[in-house]
Chains A and B, each alone.
Chain A
Amino acid sequence: MAELAVDKHVKYILAVEKNKDSFESVVMDHLRMNGAYWGLTALDLLGKLDSVNVDEVISWILKCQHESGGFSGNIGHDPHILYTLSAVQVLALFNKLDVLDIDKVATYITGLQNEDGSFSGDMWGEVDTRFSYIAICCLSILCCLGKINVEKAVSYILSCKNLDGGFGCTPGVFCCVGALALTGSLHYVDKDLLGWWLCERQVKSGGLNGRPEKLPDVCYSWWVLSSLIMIDRVHWIDKEKLVKFILDCQDVENGGISDRPDDAVDVYHTYFGVAGLSLLNYPGLKAIDPAYALPVDVVNRIFFSG
């Protein structure tokens, strides 16, 4: 069986972070904050977060914060809840949450909650269950979850169709399960039913797909796997086969991981592949928390430090 080419992946991620001229970097310009989260979290899981200049990263992140308290995807863009979470997560990685005016960030997020408990992505209104998870995860990291109407947020999530084992989409399932996990509301989930639908995502190659009769993709090694772990049903898939699938998606020459074997790599799939392997207890990787999508030691530091 192949092994995880740790050094190659570290080199790949660092190169992507530094290379502002590549085509990939141009089209990802507006979501650089997400890219930073994927790359830096993967580096931390690989034990190499210290390869990066902390001060440069923090200084850039703070330049992305707006008056409203929200963060944009890059300097000069508008704030959005997506990038606010990534910014907070990256600061948590570096144990630099203290550079934040937490009330300000919390105000931005609470302002995005709607009457029905749902969340908009920004002041222009698009609603999505992704944003519910993001709001809850972000405020939970900042230890001020109580600033939103949690009850309404939970009932909105439960009203969405992702959890009935029916025809949902798996990133949606992850967002719903994650949000319920973080608000202590997993008892509302029929774990056997959902677990069965999720474990049926594993195909012969060992990879996971997102919906019936679709091809496996490494990113589902996160969306499906973390959901299974949160509802305590991960033993219902063949973990070894999934490990093998993820390892087969590596580019062992140049570093990076792709969606499926022999496709082009990108930092998004590199993060999800490494995170998936971490969830599967692949040796040598730091443990990752399935709900916060941050290393366990980072989460512990938030909640248990003096």
Chain B
Amino acid sequence: MDSREDDGGEPLSRMAEWRDVTPLPQDDGPNPVVPIAYKEEFRETMDYFRAIYKADERSPRALRLTRRAIHLNPGNYTVWHFRRLVLEALNADLDEELDFLQRIANSNSKNYQLWHHRRWVVERLGANAGAKELNLIKKILSLDAKNYHAWSHRQWVLQALGGWEDELDYCQQLLEEDIFNNSAWNQRYFVVTRSPFLGGLKAMRASEVRYTVEAILANPNNECPWRYLRGLYKDDIKALVNDPEISSVCLKVINTKNNYVFALKMLLDLLCHGFQPCHEFRDSVVALRTSDTDPLDPDLSMAICDILEHVDSLRASYWIWRKNKLSVAAV
């Protein structure tokens, strides 16, 4: 944790400011035989915290004490909760509180209590805090671009306070840095489907398909854009089947005979939903075979299941089930 947040670590018992307080020790047994320095500081801080908490003292020094306790143990939800009571009682400057949270964010980036507290602060700051908050979250994400808490919080800020205008560009930038970042793809989906400035999923679909196809062709083994494509056609499977760009990218990837597993899976889904392939599709699937032992199944869907059973062998049982389901449906 950032050492600037801990009042320098001087023992509270030696500080004049705390002379009037009797610390309340934890009531659970004898002291450990070998006290360690940070353990002593922790115990002392929590003893004083307990005293202040019991007395319900909502003062400036109580606020400083919660900061010290948070520094020593940021997971302690009681301390965070009491800090909120004190902030309210003191009518404290919540902009400063946000700055404090930002300073300790990176060492606590997956701490539920911190993010809950942050949301509480931003809620109270209101619409004016939106832009600053989005910027601050960007900084956190620049160190860990997949932090689920940060992304959830960011989505909440957008929905509660706005700031959608630059979000698609931000997703673009993150994807340029790392096209495998599923969180960025997820955020892109969030923006495309919910931003009040973009016209909604259907309006954005064509351009998003083009963008995604490009990403696929650059890295066909990247699971993210394939999932994104499916998302673009959520609840509209007919349109997925009828979009020539989708079947075309499958064909292109399969023809490279490299990293074609996701392409085969997508083609299979298209076939299952009524896609009528021209002979090129069958030719390209046939060309994938490396052994000449068994002839390829005359039904293209079954043939794909056979191939996937071998090339996606971790999920062999799934592909056998899938093939079986097809033959049942065909009857």
Residues of A within 8 A of B (CB): 20-21, 23, 26-31, 60, 63, 72-73, 75-78, 80, 122, 124, 126, 166-167, 169, 195-196, 199-200, 202, 204, 206, 211-214, 235-238, 241
A20 touches B32 (CB 8 A): yes
Interface centre among B34, B73, B227 (most CB of A within 10 A): B227
Residues of B contacting A167 with CB < 8 Å?
182, 186, 189, 227, 231
Shortest beta-carbon contacts, A-B, top 3: A236-B318, A212-B223, A30-B76
Q: Given A21-B34, A78-B81, A214-B146, does the pair A63, B315 have CB atoms closer than 8 Å?
A: no
Residue of B nearest to A29 (CB): B73
B32 touches A21 (CB 8 A): yes
* Contact pick for B26, options A75, A202, A235, CB 8 Å: A75
Q: Given A212-B224, A236-B315, does the pair A78, B77 have CB atoms closer than 8 Å?
A: yes
Q: Is B222 an interface residue (CB 8 A)?
A: yes
B81 touches A30 (CB 8 A): no
B318 touches A213 (CB 8 A): no
Within 8 A of A (CB), among B28-42: 28, 32, 34-36, 38-39, 42
CB distance from B329 to the nearest CB of A (A): 13
A26 touches B42 (CB 8 A): yes
Residue of A nearest to B72 (CB): A26
Residues of A contacting B181 with CB < 8 Å?
213
A236 touches B73 (CB 8 A): no
Q: Is B313 an interface residue (CB 8 A)?
A: yes
Q: Is B180 an interface residue (CB 8 A)?
A: yes
B78 touches A30 (CB 8 A): yes
Q: Given A126-B116, A196-B318, does the pair A80, B28 have CB atoms closer than 8 Å?
A: no
* Contact pick for B27, options A75, A199, A200, A202, CB 8 Å: A75
Q: Given A75-B26, A78-B77, does the pair A213, B182 have CB atoms closer than 8 Å?
A: yes
23 pairs, CB–CB < 8 Å, chain A vs chain B = A21-B32, A21-B36, A26-B72, A26-B73, A27-B73, A28-B75, A30-B76, A30-B78, A31-B75, A72-B78, A75-B28, A76-B27, A76-B46, A76-B50, A167-B186, A167-B227, A199-B315, A213-B182, A214-B146, A236-B315, A236-B317, A236-B318, A237-B314
- Within the assembled complex, what's the spacing in Å between the Cα atoms of A236 and B183? 25
B314 touches A213 (CB 8 A): no
Residue of A nearest to B221 (CB): A213
A-B contacts besides A63-B28, A78-B78, A202-B315, 4 pairs, CB < 8 Å? A124-B84, A167-B189, A213-B224, A237-B315
* Contact pick for B77, options A20, A63, A80, CB 8 Å: A80
B78 touches A212 (CB 8 A): no
Residues of A contacting B36 with CB < 8 Å?
21
Residues of A contacting B39 with CB < 8 Å?
21, 26
A238 touches B314 (CB 8 A): yes
Chain B 146-184 interface 0/1 with A at a Cβ cutoff of 8 Å (1 = within) = 101000000000000000000000000000000011110
A77 touches B78 (CB 8 A): yes
Q: Given A124-B81, A126-B116, A237-B315, does the pair A213, B38 have CB atoms closer than 8 Å?
A: no
A77 touches B77 (CB 8 A): yes
Q: Is B321 an interface residue (CB 8 A)?
A: yes
The contact size tier of chain B is 35 or more
A241 touches B77 (CB 8 A): no
* Contact pick for A199, options B81, B186, B318, CB 8 Å: B318
B77 touches A30 (CB 8 A): yes
Residues of B contacting A238 with CB < 8 Å?
313-316
Residue of A nearest to B317 (CB): A235
Within 8 A of A (CB), among B43-91: 46, 50, 72-73, 75-78, 81, 84
* Contact pick for B227, options A29, A30, A212, A235, CB 8 Å: A212
B26 touches A76 (CB 8 A): yes
Residue of A nearest to B227 (CB): A212
Residues of B contacting A212 with CB < 8 Å?
182, 223-224, 227
Residue of B nearest to A130 (CB): B112
Residues of B contacting A199 with CB < 8 Å?
315, 318
- Within the assembled complex, what's the spacing in Å between the Cα atoms of A23 and B27? 20
CB distance from A74 to the nearest CB of B (A): 8
A23 touches B26 (CB 8 A): no
Within 8 A of A (CB), among B101-152: 112, 116, 146, 148
- Within the assembled complex, what's the spacing in Å between the Cα atoms of A236 and B324? 14
Residues of B contacting A214 with CB < 8 Å?
146, 182
CB distance from A173 to the nearest CB of B (A): 13
- Within the assembled complex, what's the spacing in Å between the Cα atoms of A238 and B28? 47
CB distance from B119 to the nearest CB of A (A): 9
- Within the assembled complex, what's the spacing in Å between the Cα atoms of A75 and B32? 16
Chain B 205-233 interface 0/1 with A at a Cβ cutoff of 8 Å (1 = within) = 00000000000000000111001000100
Residues of B contacting A28 with CB < 8 Å?
75
Residues of A contacting B26 with CB < 8 Å?
75-76
Residues of A contacting B42 with CB < 8 Å?
26, 29
- Within the assembled complex, what's the spacing in Å between the Cα atoms of A63 and B29? 12
CB distance from B167 to the nearest CB of A (A): 16
Residues of B contacting A77 with CB < 8 Å?
76-78
* Contact pick for A213, options B72, B76, B222, B321, CB 8 Å: B222
B224 touches A200 (CB 8 A): no
